[in-house]
Amino acid sequence: MSETSKIEQKWQKRWEEAGIFESDPDAKRQKFFVNVAYPYMNGAPHLGHAYTFIRADVYARFKRMQGFNVLFPQGFHATGEPILGVVERVRNRDQDQIEALRALGATDEDIKNFAEQGPEFVVAYWMDRWVRTLKSAGFSVDWRRSFVTALTPTYNRFIEWQYNTLKNKGYVVQGTHPVVWCPHDQSPTGDHDRLVGEGESPVEYVMLKFELDDGTILPCATMRPETAYGATNVWINPDGDYVKAEVDGKAWILGKVAAEKARDQLHKVDVKEEIKGSMIVGRVAKNPVTGLKVPVFPAGFVDPDTATGVVMSVPSHAPYDWMGLHDLKQDMGLSQKYGIFQEALDAVVPISIIKVEGMTENPAVEVCSRMMISSQKDAEKLDEATDEVYKKEFHQGVLRENTGYPGVRISEAKDKISADFVRKGWGEVFWETTSEVVCRCKTRCHVKILENQWFLKFSDEEWKRRAKEAISRMNLYPETSRTQFLNTVDWLKDKACARKSGLGTKMPWDRDWIIETLSDSVIYMAYYTISKTLKERKVDADGLTDEVLDYVFLGKGDAKSASKKSGLDEKAIEEMKGEFDYYYPTDVRFSAKELIPNHLTYHVFHHVAMWDDPRMWPRGVSVNGFVTLNSQKMSKRFGNVKMLSDMIETYGSDVTRMNIVGSNENMDDADWRDDSIDAFASRMRMLHSLSRDIEKSKRKDMQNPDKSFISMLQSRIKSTTEACELTRFRSAIQSGFFESTNDLKWYIDRCGGIENCNRDVLEEGISTIVVMMCPFAPHTAEEIWEGMGNKKLAASSMWPEANEGKADSESESGEDMIRQVADDVRQIEKISGIKPKKAVIIVAPQWKFDVYGLVSKNKSADFKTILSMVKEKNEAAVKYIQALQKRGELSGNLVSRQSQLDLLEEAKAFIGKQIGAEVEIQDAETSKLEKARNADVRKPAIFVL
């Protein structure tokens, strides 16, 4: 075992023994509830998880050090399909799955148990891994409150109570809903279950009911129903498989596949006979919109498997249709084969129904000829042409007089036209996927309308309003995420909240359904507050009646009656209620930004539904970006995944924590860089070794460097604290760790080594830095802290507070001047190439001074004036500047001439060391050097001799 991990384990043990992370209600202290979205138990934590989790731990530690009674619990998630999927695949000896588990460190014995013991074992296995890893990362979690969803009966009971409550309030409703459906698996096909068609979703077509002479309906599916006014004919694939069927009691002809789809879309379909498309070519169909009778023509571009397999032809506005006609007219053989007369073909001319500025009457014709498309087989160009025509017509096109909507813009009227057509009985809605979708089982999917599905009624306006109210009250880190939350609320439609398969809690009133994973993970933060009691008092699920939970969480009814009916000890009930009342709501919830559009917004919705009292609504959310590895996307497929436990083993927890949390903040992606690790490690080593040398310092008096260092430390404290509050940990590490240690280095250098430092100042500086790095690198902080003679744990020490009284901008300006002079001396030496024996520094005459650190708080004029006054040797400048300072319009300090002389005199040795030469300070006014007296300088002048 490495030295680092020995030290880290030592402190982890000490923390555990001290029990400082276990939190119980304490009326005298203010609570703070930090939590992370719980992880799913089908793998071990990798750096992606680690980023969010470490951020949460840093914040919990920070708040604890600020004196809050911090509750930081951690639960685990097992609801849903994937765990069952793993078990099934292992049972089927799926080699890919077994390899994947081995790669995660599972032994053959483990894998055997996966198969034999099933989900319980899988969950227990990963939970164990997670807990061990999080502990080794130094997490300050109250482990007494942990639990896992789905497999915990009391948790199931809690979820039942949640859904009973929601249903009583009318937030859970039953309804129908279109989903992408696999006819083979007989289940919805989610994105991750697809071989082809990731990201595709159901869209609404309108199938317009063209009618053949005998009354048979020929449904033409279209996404542009308005173009029905320009339909010249109907297309059918002559070689395609079609059926004659009775649909909802009427005779239809449609694609064979389409008949199946229609059946899944709540139509009553009875297939009578299979036919080829060619059988209806040449017949005449009546357009339901215009009443016009148009012929049915053959076209190879019609896919009988897409939508209804029948389309109407609008050659004026659809490039495919125009080319279809073109081909038919060219190929006499084809038209003869299907018995289409030349006259019939000649009769078909494009009917323009949309006017587009800057385009001819028939945009499709125009574009086809411009792009030199020669046939309907030129699919690539035709798709491009279609896209172009469609976009122009949609955005700029206006319907002509020959339609039912003259002068209307397509983009504005499209939805209304569809609705009108359906209402008038000219057409019906038909669902299709946006593009081809193929299930993992290799079956082509289509859209099914699910019936009797349970929904959370997120479309409810009042519910939305309350969700928005809650969001507006929340602290969001970063603030920029707020619009995303609000937009999500607007955008959210009813959400299916139950499935037929997977692990989870059964819908209490409809045991066929299982509450789905995103729907049973939204108010469980409340469960943390009772989880400890449930375990300690061994409460079983039966005891947790709705009445008990109503009392505990909502304050309804009374404990006595709830106790009597449930048989649960009244003390247990009161204890749970006490915990809940004390800790709720959550103060900050940490998560990755990908959960904003779903989980995080749902969790707001559910809280406002469950609790009428806004004081119980979540108070804050902090989101972070993704994690990349050395700028490469983390991806299991390319083996580009790093496990947290490996990183801890290799680098130690502290460095790992800093390297990930310090790499970025806000919603930007965090980049794990192997090569930045040293920066953290070496800085910590430096701090550690300095802390051991403190006792070498002997000086007692306060000199300028001392005052300046202490002053700068105050601003570091301030900015570090502010950054931490906003969960901007990169900034916090920047100022609280890197910049403050830089200050420390300068201070020691300036004093001429640690021996010449002021003991108290040095100790205060190092202590402050160590305490500020404690949330980030807790183990190292403890180690240094103890080494400095502290008895109390660093983790329970107080976070430093900036002391305004110690701010001293004058001495900071002084140090700044020394820095400048020292820098200049080095520059001159270097550029001149002289190895000097002596450097003479001459302080300028009265009017010639520098404006170190001066900042104008007023806008333009003043600062400009000052500069020009200084340049023009105006002695009044000093008075003017002083007046401005008095009025508070200028911040910063002038370094007066006398101070310049004094400071430089005192810093002679330090400056001399830069070039290894003697330094002499002279006053320009009394200088013996003629050159110096006459020099036109603004800063102290330097001559190297």
**Subset of residues 598 to 617 that bind RNA, contact rule: CB under 7 A:** 598-599
Q: How far is the CB of 199 from RNA (least distance, A)?
A: 6
Contact of 545 with 553, CB cutoff 8 Å: no
> Long-range contacts of range 498-501, CB-CB < 8 Å, 24 or more positions apart?
498/453, 498/454, 499/81, 500/187, 501/81, 501/84, 501/187
How far apart are the C-alpha atoms of 263 and 268, rounded to whole Å? 6
Strand 31-36, strand 588-592: pairing: parallel
Q: Choose between 341 and 509: whose C-beta lies nearer to RNA.
A: 509
Q: Answer yes or no whether residue 944 interacts with RNA by CB under 7 A.
A: yes
Strand 293-298, strand 620-624: pairing: unpaired
Report which secondary-structure segment, H or E, holds 918: strand 918-923
Near RNA by CB under 7 A: residue from 55, 77, 157, 466:
77
Q: Choose between 795 and 911: whose C-beta lies nearer to RNA.
A: 911
| Strand blocks (E) in 237-367 | 241-247, 250-255, 269-276, 284-286, 293-298, 310-313, 354-355
Q: Answer yes or no whether residue 637 interacts with RNA by CB under 7 A.
A: no
Of 12-20, 356-364, 665-673, 899-907, which part binds RNA (CB under 7 A)?
A: 665-673
Q: How many helices (H) and strands (E) in the chain? A: 35, 34
Of 21-29, 706-714, 800-808, 934-942, which part binds RNA (CB under 7 A)?
A: 934-942
Q: How far is the CB of 604 from RNA (least distance, A)?
A: 14
Q: How far is the CB of 340 from RNA (least distance, A)?
A: 38
How far apart are the C-alpha atoms of 809 and 823, rounded to whole Å? 21
Q: Answer yes or no whether residue 557 interacts with RNA by CB under 7 A.
A: no
Near RNA by CB under 7 A: residue from 282, 597, 752, 845:
597
Near RNA by CB under 7 A: residue from 191, 213, 270, 875:
191
Report which secondary-structure segment, H or E, holds 906: helix 897-906
Identify residues 322-381 at the interface with RNA (CB under 7 A). Answer: none
Q: Give strand pairing partners of 177.
A: 450
| Strand blocks (E) in 549-651 | 588-592, 620-624, 627-629, 632-633
Q: How far is the CB of 490 from RNA (least distance, A)?
A: 8
Identify residues 864-893 at the interface with RNA (CB under 7 A). Answer: 864, 892
Identify residues 829-858 at the interface with RNA (CB under 7 A). Answer: 830-832, 834, 853-855
Instruction: List for the chain the helix, strand, coil content (%; round to 5).
Output: 50, 20, 30
Count Cβ atoms within 10 A of the Cβ of residue 357 and give its class: 0-12 exposed, 13-18 middle, 19 or more buried: exposed
Per-residue mark of binding to RNA, 474-493 (x: CB under 7 A): ------x--xx--x---xxx
Closest listed residue to residue 105, CA positions, set 129, 134, 85, 131 = 129
Near RNA by CB under 7 A: residue from 654, 665, 782, 783:
665
Q: By rule CB under 7 A, what count of residues binds RNA? A: 93
Identify residues 492-551 at the interface with RNA (CB under 7 A). Answer: 492-497, 499, 502, 516-518
Near RNA by CB under 7 A: residue from 92, 640, 827, 882:
827
- Tokens describing residue 867: 């500069």
Q: How far is the CB of 730 from RNA (least distance, A)?
A: 7
How far apart are the C-alpha atoms of 309 and 286, rounded to whole Å? 18
- Tokens describing residue 236: 């059918």
Identify residues 5-44 at the interface with RNA (CB under 7 A). Answer: 40, 42
Q: Choose between 108 and 383: whose C-beta lies nearer to RNA.
A: 383
Q: Answer yes or no whether residue 675 interacts with RNA by CB under 7 A.
A: yes
Q: Choose between 54 and 259: whose C-beta lies nearer to RNA.
A: 54
Q: Answer yes or no whether residue 928 interacts with RNA by CB under 7 A.
A: no
Identify residues 122-181 at the interface with RNA (CB under 7 A). Answer: 177, 179-180
User: CA 487, 488, 490, 496: dihedral to nearest 10 degrees?
Assistant: 170
Q: How far is the CB of 363 from RNA (least distance, A)?
A: 18
How far apart are the C-alpha atoms of 533 and 525, rounded to whole Å? 15
Identify residues 451-470 at the interface with RNA (CB under 7 A). Answer: 453, 455, 458
Identify residues 709-748 at the interface with RNA (CB under 7 A). Answer: 730, 734, 738-739, 742, 745
Near RNA by CB under 7 A: residue from 1, 27, 372, 861:
861
Q: Give strand pairing partners of 247.
A: 250, 269
Q: How far is the CB of 522 from RNA (least distance, A)?
A: 11
Contact of 502 with 650, CB cutoff 8 Å: no
Near RNA by CB under 7 A: residue from 863, 866, 870, 904:
863
Q: Choose between 372 and 831: whose C-beta lies nearer to RNA.
A: 831
